[in-house]
């Protein structure tokens, strides 16, 4: 009897621990998915990033070709900070670029740039 009670207590303690743990994992995954989704929305939004005006992006409609297609970002930008700088202020790398300095000119705020960078880093 005593043992059965202990086993039950151990089982419910485990359930409590797992119960607290699993939902927090699930919500971390949700947050990540929604960051990527928002990043994509901002990148595609003609009044926000408008990246499609110049870049081909997977499943983007009517892309322009002034800039290179956005793909293999992780391979081309092993350091994510370099990619962020490209989006924040493309003139750092090329003062004559056609690409607008989104962060420097306040077209996108820091949070919006972070979301876009997270999204394009998956391309």
Neighbours of 117 (CB within 10 A): 21
Q: Select from 60, 64, 62, 68 the least CA-distant residue to 86.
A: 68
**Which residue, 29 or 47, is less far from ligand HEC as judged by CB?**
47
- Residue 20 or 95: which CB sits closer to ligand HEC? 95
Binding to ligand HEC, residues 75-94 (CB under 6 A): 76, 83, 86-87, 90, 93-94
Angle value at C-alpha 84, between 118 and 26, nearest 5 degrees: 20
Interacting residue with ligand HEC among 12, 18, 34, 68 (CB under 6 A) = 68
88 contacts 104 by C-beta, under 8 angstroms: yes
Positions in the binding site for ligand HEC (CB under 6 A): 43, 49-51, 53-55, 66-68, 70, 76, 83, 86-87, 90, 93-94, 97-100, 102, 116, 120
């Amino acid at each position: 009897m005593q043992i059965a009670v202990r086993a039950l207590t151990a089982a419910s303690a485990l359930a409590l621990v797992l119960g607290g743990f699993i939902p927090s994992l699930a919500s971390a995954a949700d947050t990540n998915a929604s960051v990527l989704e928002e990043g994509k929305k901002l990148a595609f939004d003609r009044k926000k990033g408008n990246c499609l005006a110049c870049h081909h992006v997977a499943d983007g409609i009517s892309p322009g070709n002034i800039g290179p297609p956005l793909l293999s970002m992780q391979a081309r930008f092993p350091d994510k900070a370099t990619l962020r700088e490209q989006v924040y202020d493309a003139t750092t790398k090329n003062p004559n670029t056609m690409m607008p300095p989104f962060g420097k000119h306040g077209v996108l705020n820091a949070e919006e740039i972070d979301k876009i960078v997270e999204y394009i880093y998956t391309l």
